[in-house]
Amino acid sequence: MKEAIVLYDSECQFCNNWICFVKTKLKNEKISFITLNSSKAIQLLKDFKIVNEDSVIYIKGDVFYLKSRAILKICSQLKSPYTTLQHLNILPVSLLDYCYNFIAKRRLHFNPRKQCCND
């Protein structure tokens, strides 16, 4: 099984804190976390022909997921009870992405002052 890759905005403290949380809740499945501004991420974006995207991106094999679907894919690899969040995928993508965009637009307001792990 190929390791999943998550591309995320390392300049956003909310995103950094969320990635830090995910790292502590992962099951045995592996995920590589790569910052969107790294050369590896830039190459992956070119390879997958992803342009003008600043959301979280989940890549596994030849498939990628954006926004809410990426979050749900990550949740599927977390320990219980967090893995149950993946069942939200029964909801329409438009509704899930609306929620994702709502949080994304306000993420600076959710930003705690403390720093997080930076692996």
> What CATH number belongs to 4-105?
3.40.30
pLDDT digits (tens, 9 = 90+) for 89-109: 899 999 999 999 998 888 777
- What pTM was estimated for this model as a whole? 0.84
Name the residue ranges covered by the structural domains of the chain.
Answer: 4-105
pLDDT digits (tens, 9 = 90+) for 61-72: 999 999 999 999
Q: Considering just the CA atoms, what is the radius of gyration of the chain in Å?
A: 14
Nearest Cα neighbor of 109 from 22, 16, 20, 13 is 13
